[in-house]
Amino acid sequence: MYRVDEDKVYSAYDHAKEMYAEFGVNTDEILKEMDKIHISIHCWQGDDVIGFEEGVNGLTGGGIVATGNWPGRARNGAELREDIEMALSLIPGKHRVNLHAIYAETDGEFVDRDQISIEHFKKWIDWAKEKGIGLDFNPTFFSHQKANSGYTLSSKDDKIRKFWINHGKRSREIANAIGKELNNQCVNNIWIPDGSKDLPANRIEHRKLLKESLDEIFAVKYEKSNMLDSVESKLFGIGSESYVVGSHEFYLGYALKNNIMLCLDMGHFHPTESVADKISSILTFSDNLLIHVSRGVRWDSDHVVILNDELLSLAKEIKRCNAYDKVYIALDFFDASINRIAAWVVGARATLKAILISLLEPTHLLVEQENKGNLGNRLALMEEFKALPFYAVWNKYCMDKNVPIGTSWINLVDEYENKVLKHRN
């Protein structure tokens, strides 16, 4: 692949710096701002959401599916951490790693989800300490025999519901312990697959049960410096096309009433809905917001994130709300049809590019024209700003962070695949 000449990177950056300065933007300061932003890299891209549970063969149920069979899937914690390290070495900046409960390491012993504890994540914590990174967490309410009915926290079966409540409690205990151990706040996000394939006769009963379950899970209060709770909605999934208990409206109401962070997944809404447009409304009433960066294609198919209009709109809205210190950003996609490390790197770099573009935007000039009522000028400036040379600033950012510039990282992924991934059976 083409390798960028470093002298050309500096020269292009100097030219871009001058161009942005004409619009009142200091690119050196923007690069410092990028250092404050840490996205959470999801571990489940590396093994197709299979996890390490004894006696479980992989992703089942929950309205989600990983397709493809690219060679080299991580089969255990050591391989998964090795692959994540490789991906992180190609992504500029200091970032986090996001775990699901099914990535507990139990040394060959079957431990059901209502019994998991912090000891089963010790290897992850020790690794995070060594790398100097933070960890986030997610209870896993799918791919389990007690989720086969399509209902977990909203199940009418008291025993099933109690099992999942206990899993939610255990997960919060683990997230709190992770944050305390690492001295780095851990976000614990709850998403459940509950819903119906066809039209239900009674929607509200399941939602009342879900509220009761959440109330019990959140009854214990933890220091926010250690752990921050969030709840995630969804429009529909495979097997829940007609009804999802944890809808956007349900969780928006629950989160605001109970002072819990809301999570918006970019793939969990109607294709014509703008997730970006929801940000300012939510932040008017809530201190924080979690965004799961994904890419739906026709439906919630969790495609690898690319630098498209939806992602750019999202980043620009966060910037225009002056909210990068309030919004938590995590990746959430899985594609087993391509090299999994390439998927991580493409998605993370696309997300960081969008963030950089948003920070480089001369927003003050847009607001100035808006306040004057010059909406034609505002639109004209928006169009002109699209052509500003952000890529020169991006290359300088990558160089400063000692990660590959341009397409040169692709060679390194190919080398890793030939040396490591192809030797896994």
Single out the catalytic residue among 292, 316, 319, 353: 292
Tokens matching residue 389 = 């040379």
Q: What is the pLDDT of residue 302?
A: 86
Q: What is the pLDDT of residue 382?
A: 98
Residue 351 to residue 305: CA distance in whole angstroms: 7
Q: Where are the beta strands (DSSP E) in 65-119?
A: 96-100
- Pick from 80, 212, 218: nearest CA to 139: 218
Contacts of 178 (CB under 8 A, 6+ apart): 118, 121, 125, 135, 137, 186, 227
To which residue do tokens 């100035």 refer? 368
Single out the catalytic residue among 83, 181, 194, 232: 232
Q: What is the pLDDT of residue 5?
A: 83
> In the predicted model, is pLDDT for residue 62 greater than 80?
no
Segment 115-164, tens digit of pLDDT? 999 999 999 999 999 999 999 999 999 999 999 999 999 999 999 999 99
Q: Is residue 183 part of a domain?
A: yes
Q: Is residue 387 part of a domain?
A: no
Q: What is the pLDDT of residue 1?
A: 52
Find how far residue 354's CA is from the centre of its chain: 14
Q: What is the pLDDT of residue 237?
A: 86
To which residue do tokens 């306040």 refer? 371
Q: Is 232 a catalytic residue?
A: yes
Single out the catalytic residue among 124, 164, 191, 409: 191
Residue 265 to residue 190: CA distance in whole angstroms: 12
Q: Is residue 420 part of a domain?
A: no
Q: Is 48 a catalytic residue?
A: no
- Pick from 247, 241, 242: nearest CA to 191: 247
Q: Is residue 2 part of a domain?
A: no
Q: Is 278 a catalytic residue?
A: no
Q: Is residue 415 part of a domain?
A: no
Single out the catalytic residue among 47, 136, 265, 417: 265
**Residue 287 phi, psi dihedral angles, 5° rounding:** -75, -30
Q: Is residue 279 part of a domain?
A: yes
Give the residue with greater pLDDT, 386 vs 63: 386
Residue 125 buriedness (CB in 10 A; 0-12 / 13-18 / 19+): middle
Specify whether the CB–CB gap between 153 and 102 falls below 8 A.
no
With a pLDDT cut of 70, the percent of the chain lying above it is 97
Beta bridge partners of 42: 98
Segment 240-274, tens digit of pLDDT? 999 999 999 999 999 999 999 999 999 999 989 99
To which residue do tokens 């950003």 refer? 329
Segment 271-324, tens digit of pLDDT? 899 999 999 999 999 999 999 999 999 877 789 999 999 999 999 999 999 999
What does pTM read for this prediction?
A: 0.96
Specify whether the CB–CB gap between 89 and 72 falls below 8 A.
no
Q: What angle do CA 29, 393, 278 make, to 5 degrees?
A: 75
What's the Rg (C-alpha) of the chain? 22
Specify whether the CB–CB gap between 294 and 237 falls below 8 A.
no
Q: Is 344 a catalytic residue?
A: no
Question: How does the average pLDDT of the chain come out, rounded?
Answer: 95
Find the domain containing 223 and state its range: 37-361
Q: Is residue 404 part of a domain?
A: no
Q: Is 335 a catalytic residue?
A: no
Q: What is the largest CA-CA distance in the chain?
A: 67
Single out the catalytic residue among 83, 310, 317, 332: 332
Q: Is 191 a catalytic residue?
A: yes
To which residue do tokens 């690219």 refer? 70
Q: Is 206 a catalytic residue?
A: no
Single out the catalytic residue among 100, 234, 278, 396: 234
Q: Where are the beta strands (DSSP E) in 218-294?
A: 227-232, 243-244, 261-265, 289-293
Using alpha carbons, list the distances in angstroms from residue 155 to 147, 210, 420. 9, 8, 44
Q: Is 70 a catalytic residue?
A: no
> In the predicted model, is pLDDT for residue 216 greater than 90?
yes
Q: What is the pLDDT of residue 60?
A: 63
To which residue do tokens 């950089």 refer? 356
Number of domains in the chain: 1
Using alpha carbons, list the distances in angstroms from residue 26 to 18, 22, 31, 389, 396. 9, 9, 9, 13, 14
CATH number, domain containing residue 244 = 3.20.20.150
Find how far residue 17's CA is from the centre of its chain: 31
pLDDT tier at 6 (50, 70, 90 boundaries)? Answer: confident
Q: What is the pLDDT of residue 425?
A: 75
For 200-245, give the DSSP string. Answer: -S-HHHHHHHHHHHHHHHT-S---TTTEEEEEE--S--TT-SSEES
Q: What is the pLDDT of residue 301?
A: 75
Q: What is the pLDDT of residue 246?
A: 98
The secondary structure of the chain in percent helix, strand, coil, rounded to multiples of 5, reads 50, 10, 40
Looking at residue 175, its amino acid is A
Single out the catalytic residue among 95, 146, 268, 353: 268
Beta bridge partners of 136: 98
Residue 145 to residue 138: CA distance in whole angstroms: 19
* Coil, helix or strand at residue 363: helix
> In the predicted model, is pLDDT for residue 2 greater than 60?
no
Looking at residue 41, its amino acid is I
Residue 296 to residue 294: CA distance in whole angstroms: 7
> In the predicted model, is pLDDT for residue 77 greater than 90?
yes
> In the predicted model, is pLDDT for residue 224 greater than 60?
yes
Q: Is residue 390 part of a domain?
A: no
* Coil, helix or strand at residue 149: coil
Q: Is 164 a catalytic residue?
A: no
